[in-house]
Chain A
Amino acid sequence: MKFVDEFRDPAAARALVRKITDLATEDEYKFMEVCGGHTHTIYRHGLEHVLPDNIELVHGPGCPVCVIPMGRIDDAIWLAEQDGVIFTTFGDMMRVPGSSGSLLDAKARGADCRFVYSPLDALKIALENPDKHVVFFAVGFETTAPSTAVTLVRAKQLGVTNFTVFANHVTIVPPIKAILESPDLRLSGFLGPGHVSTVVGTRPYRFVNDVYGKPLVVAGFEPLDILQSVHMLLKQLAEGRCEIENQYSRVVRPDGNPQALALLAETMELRPHFEWRGLGFISQSALKVHRNYADWDAEERFSMPGIRVADPKACQCGEVLKGVIKPWECKVFGTACTPETPIGTCMVSPEGACAAYYNFGRLHRDTAVMVGQRTAL
């Protein structure tokens, strides 16, 4: 596998870091990686320590588990505790704390909460349990939403009447806009999300350079992908260009996945607004089940409390999600808040900045081995 070796080649990494260092002539660069998968790679391989000191990688709001506000978790728990309901969701969501515990706690109290690998598994549970009502708690960006879309189409096709979706899908463009509008942060550019872009393509990001004058490079998930993307951003800035570029072109097409987009358009519609943890209400930033699929919409079927709940005072997930503070700057990081007993969402998902830093941030052996010490370059 020659290609693999090329992406792991220490000499290539060293050469890239040297080129990056040469290009980074300004006092300060702040690049936001929007996607939690990138945050994970950066901490896993200690990339921030390989880059010169004047380049800071800022973690963005791209972990779908992390951005779900507490009130929605409370609604999920309320649903799970209704008579005759089997409540299904992805594993990560089971541990996210609401205002009075998590779905796992609800399960311990007797609610039938099950984690599933795929939304189609939830539909299967509904087919196998005709006397129960199965709710699927759907979360995720455009990467995951098409799978819910296919499941809705299938449920309609099969005429399943005991299955609904509690949709909490979010879209990537509005939070990027919100961050660009925020006075807290002065960013130099963005590492664009890899897997979201397999669905939406590269065109939706055009406002980043057109309106806000910032470069964006859609990046892959290998350590060298991230380094190469940082190099592409610096090169644009050095040459006075400001474009949307695609470093991950071996997977991401400019048009994305047209099938997935068509299915999304058929089964879901934009909410007028949606609350994001840390970012507040953002207009047209989330998807609900389309009115043509109302029979499979949990929000139509049940009268959920829908109460807005403020985040715990000690928790600074909001600032972490906006990139204003680093995980270790949060007062409860690693003490009251750990992956075993998370207070905030960023500590729950492996893609959350806090969990990624907690698990890997202090271990940089991989990168040290791969590229050698920076002083030796």
Chain B
Amino acid sequence: MCLGIPGQVVETVDAENYLAKVDVSGVRRTISVRLLADTGLKDGDWVLVHVGFAMAKIDEDEAAMTLSQLQKMGTEYTDELAQFRSTSL
């Protein structure tokens, strides 16, 4: 449950309620960016996503590295991605 998966912010959905759409390996979902409220987050930025929240801003290289590591984990990553996909806010 402690997986942090990298996603790229593609769209601000609701600025007032800190909701943004992120893309994780081609799967898109709305998540909360409340925890990065003071970081000047913008579309195109990469973030570490944990239980539907952006936890930290990361650079693109870090994102690519973590993603390839996670993809090697196999079922846990696909399970996490399935959960990420299965629900919406």
Contact = CB atoms under 8 A, between A and B. Distances in A.
A198 B56 CA distance: 7
Given A147-B51, A198-B56, A4 B61 contact: yes
**Main SS class of interface, B:** mixed
Most buried by B among A65, A116, A124, A150: A150
27 contacts: A3-B61, A3-B65, A4-B64, A44-B72, A65-B1, A91-B83, A118-B51, A119-B51, A121-B89, A124-B89, A140-B2, A143-B4, A144-B1, A146-B35, A150-B32, A195-B2, A195-B48, A198-B48, A221-B69, A222-B69, A250-B59, A250-B62, A257-B36, A257-B56, A258-B38, A259-B34, A263-B34
A366 B74 CA distance: 14
Contact of B52 (A44, A63, A120): A120
A263 B1 contact: no
The size class of the interface chain A forms with chain B is 35 or more
A36 interface: yes
B53 A1 contact: no
Interface in A32-90: 35-37, 40, 44, 63-65, 90
Interface string B45-58: 00010111101101
A124 B38 CA distance: 25
Contacts of A64: 1-2
Most buried by A among B55, B58, B68: B55
Interface in A112-127: 116-121, 124
A8 to B, nearest CB: 8
Contact of B32 (A4, A40, A90, A120): A120
A349 to B, nearest CB: 7
- 6 closest A-B pairs (Cβ-Cβ)? A118-B52, A3-B61, A117-B83, A198-B56, A147-B53, A1-B64
B31 to A, nearest CB: 8
Given A120-B32, A221-B66, A257 B1 contact: no
Interface of A: 1-4, 7, 35-37, 40, 44, 63-65, 90-93, 116-121, 124, 139-141, 143-144, 146-147, 150, 154, 195, 198-199, 221-222, 250-252, 257-260, 263, 349-351, 366
Contact of B84 (A90, A117, A250): A117
A147 B86 contact: no
A143 B2 contact: yes
Given A91-B83, A259-B35, A144 B64 contact: no
Nearest to B89: A120
B61 to A, nearest CB: 4
Nearest to A349: B1
A117 B86 CA distance: 8
A35 B1 CA distance: 12
B13 interface: no
B1 A147 contact: no
